[in-house]
Structure 1
Amino acid sequence: MLYEFSVGQLACVVVSDGQPAPPFEPPLEQFFTPDSGVPADALRAAAVREDRSTLTCGYNCLFVSTPDGMAVVDTGLGASFLGYGEYIEPLVGQLEHGMDDVGLSRATLAAVVFTHLHQDHSRGAIWSGEVRFPAATAYAHASEVAFWKGPVELPSAQPHLAAARETIRLFGERMRPFEHDTELLPGIRAVAAPGHTPGHSAILLESGGERLLCVGDTFYDPLQLTNPTWSTPWDLDRPVSVATRRAMLERAADEQLMIHAYHLPFPGLGHVQRTSTGTFSWHPLR
């Protein structure tokens, strides 16, 4: 799946690494648990209102053509992935096929920008045991790199540890740790969005008076806009993730930013609006 658009002078294309459809969509209770701050009765009530029991989990990788070359924001799960069960393997790992379809070259990709180093964002760059984009410089926040290189004891981080460490190792000196509020490439700036992981970052595209905010894993589902306090088991610091989510949603609504949401249904583009109840609503690009 491909979706081409532009942000000012920046030509962009969303390439899907996969989007499991029914009957393989994950259940809501897998993402929103009592331990992550979501009471079971509140989730059941929301499921009734929404008339659904699952969420659509996309893997929307964003390519941006900059004056310094083509960059991609996050790289999906990659091929031959079995971490969620055998059913998932043919449903993900589609990034490189999509690149071929739109004429994007692995060999000449200039940059890989990671919102964070969870396996569903980084493994697509290293799944074969070597860097899939041999000319690319990689960017991840300094705190993110330091966290995954150090002793990682949190249980919810364990499934991501191998891919994160392998990404850091394989890119080696071509991994450029950054600080927030830094322009990584022309028109591409890092924005602080911690909580999901220590160095989780949003990525702001800006050109010709137009802007797009890539929010990474700030939210997985529109239910987190109507319930901003709802976290997931993968938010390593839940209070900080809630504060970040509120701040991102407020900014997106108040500044009328276009949003790129990595895990929402393809292509993950839309806008956020405030509601009369003091929460937010998601309006996908049509």
Structure 2
Amino acid sequence: MDTITLGDIEITRVIERPPAGLPREFIFPDVPRATWEAHRSWLAPEFWHPESDETRSVMQTWLVRSEGKTILIDTGVGNGKERPYMPFFAHYNTDFLGSLARAGVRPEDVDLVVNTHVHGDHVGWNTTLEDRQWVPTFPNARYVIARADFDYWNPENEHKTRSGRQMQNVFEDSVAPVHHAGQTVLWEDHFELDGGLRVDPAPGHTPGSSVVTLTSGTDRAVFVGDLLHSPLQFAEPDCCPSFDEDEQQARAARRRVLGWAADHNALVLPAHLPGAGAAEIRRDGAKFAIKEWAAFA
């Protein structure tokens, strides 16, 4: 279990599923291989495997302890979910709750769950199956979800989405049950988790995509969810994955948040990076570069 402390806030990386590869052309269909080759020296083999041409990612949750609260940022894929059009997220059977227990957290200990956005690999452990019903995994938690995403992905609203059928069942089995249980907080402008943690909008990947900013003492960090799917996007921030609902918005949000991180010496914690898992960055002309990797290796 990898843990670091920033100011008075403790961050633990809880792995749901270890690093695995997915075809580069599926994740980044509009980014030519030549762009990846230009950064091979530091992307391979940890983040991109040139021989198989696969990007590598990990499924994980950030466990944050702050001001006496136990907070989870994103909840992964979850066990037993039916995902007919996203088969690599279907029918997981992992020991995620065991990993949380080894980090000293029982489901009833969790005070807040933050879903940086509503995608199947970020809301899955919101619920577990009991007596053939999906129920909140964390019975005492408030689930913090952007209203923009709640409304966008609610099938009752019949929105036309880029993801289309890939999102089948996600809202129904992983979002609606916690809302019906009265445990959701649907925020619109921003949401203060506590004195050191704040949720702000960063739309583009989804309409309600958000980031969690940490400020404690002289330390700064930002949990960026899927603002980045690969560290390639530090060096090439205009590159977008196939999952971005609005690429123009996503590029603008990525540049804004990374610019803030570079200017404030803030640790950037994406949702899916294997290896070190997070990095401090610096400006590199109109782009960004790794200044120092974190200690989550």
* TM-score of the pair, normalised by structure 1: 0.87
CA contact (8 A) 1:116 1:201 kept: yes
Q: Which amino acid aligns with 1:163?
A: V
| C-alpha deviation, 1:252, in angstroms | 1.1
For 1:75-94, what aligned pairs fall within 5 Å after superposition?
75-81=75-81, 83=83, 84-85=86-87, 93-94=94-95
* Partner residue in 2 for 1:204: 213
Over the aligned positions, Cα root-mean-square deviation in angstroms equals: 2.4
SS in 2 for 1:18: strand
| C-alpha deviation, 1:229, in angstroms | 1.2
Please identify, of 180-189 and 131-140, the stretch whose mean Cα deviation from structure 2 is larger. Answer: 180-189
The answer to whether 1:285 aligns with 2:294 is: yes
Please identify, of 231-240 and 50-59, the stretch whose mean Cα deviation from structure 2 is larger. Answer: 50-59
Task: Select the residue among 147, 155, 173 that pairs with 2:152.
Answer: 147
For 1:159-178, what aligned pairs fall within 5 Å after superposition?
159-172=166-179, 173-178=182-187
Identify if the C-alpha distance between structure 1 residues 210 and 202 changes in structure 2 by more than 3 Å, giving closer, same or farther: same
Residue deviations 1:2-44 (CA, integer Å, cap 9, x gap): 21122211222111111234xxx1121111113xxx3x36446
For 1:103-182, what aligned pairs fall within 5 Å after superposition?
103-128=104-129, 129-149=134-154, 150-172=157-179, 173-182=182-191
- The unaligned stretches of length 5 or more in structure 2 are 45-49
Residue deviations 1:213-243 (CA, integer Å, cap 9, x gap): 0000001111112211111111000100011
Could you tell me the percent identity over the aligned residues?
24
| In structure 2, C-alpha distance between the alignment counterparts of 1:189 and 1:132, rounded to whole Å | 23
| In structure 1, C-alpha distance between the alignment counterparts of 2:248 and 2:89, rounded to whole Å | 34
- The unaligned stretches of length 5 or more in structure 1 are none
| In structure 2, C-alpha distance between the alignment counterparts of 1:281 and 1:44, rounded to whole Å | 15
CA contact (8 A) 1:68 1:185 kept: no
| In structure 2, C-alpha distance between the alignment counterparts of 1:167 and 1:86, rounded to whole Å | 17
Identify if the C-alpha distance between structure 1 residues 142 and 44 changes in structure 2 by more than 3 Å, giving closer, same or farther: closer
Identify if the C-alpha distance between structure 1 residues 137 and 227 changes in structure 2 by more than 3 Å, giving closer, same or farther: same
| C-alpha deviation, 1:260, in angstroms | 1.1
CA contact (8 A) 2:74 2:114 kept: yes
Q: Which amino acid aligns with 1:231?
A: C
Q: Which amino acid aligns with 2:8?
A: Q
| In structure 2, C-alpha distance between the alignment counterparts of 1:86 and 1:11, rounded to whole Å | 31
* Partner residue in 1 for 2:256: 247
- Pick the structure with more helix per residue: 1
| C-alpha deviation, 1:105, in angstroms | 0.9
| In structure 2, C-alpha distance between the alignment counterparts of 1:246 and 1:77, rounded to whole Å | 27
* Partner residue in 2 for 1:262: 271
| C-alpha deviation, 1:160, in angstroms | 2.4
Q: Which amino acid aligns with 1:62?
A: W
Identify if the C-alpha distance between structure 1 residues 68 and 59 changes in structure 2 by more than 3 Å, giving closer, same or farther: same
SS in 2 for 1:78: coil
CA contact (8 A) 1:16 1:266 kept: no
CA contact (8 A) 1:179 1:190 kept: no
| In structure 1, C-alpha distance between the alignment counterparts of 2:247 and 2:126, rounded to whole Å | 28
* Partner residue in 1 for 2:12: 13
- Pick the structure with more strand per residue: 2
| In structure 2, C-alpha distance between the alignment counterparts of 1:261 and 1:199, rounded to whole Å | 16
| In structure 1, C-alpha distance between the alignment counterparts of 2:16 and 2:211, rounded to whole Å | 19
The answer to whether 1:97 aligns with 2:132 is: no
CA contact (8 A) 2:109 2:140 kept: yes
Please identify, of 247-256 and 79-88, the stretch whose mean Cα deviation from structure 2 is larger. Answer: 79-88
Residue deviations 1:128-180 (CA, integer Å, cap 9, x gap): 22111111110011211111222132241432242234333211221111133
* TM-score of the pair, normalised by structure 2: 0.84
SS in 1 for 2:107: coil
| C-alpha deviation, 1:68, in angstroms | 5.2
Between Structure 1 and Structure 2, how many residues are aligned? 276
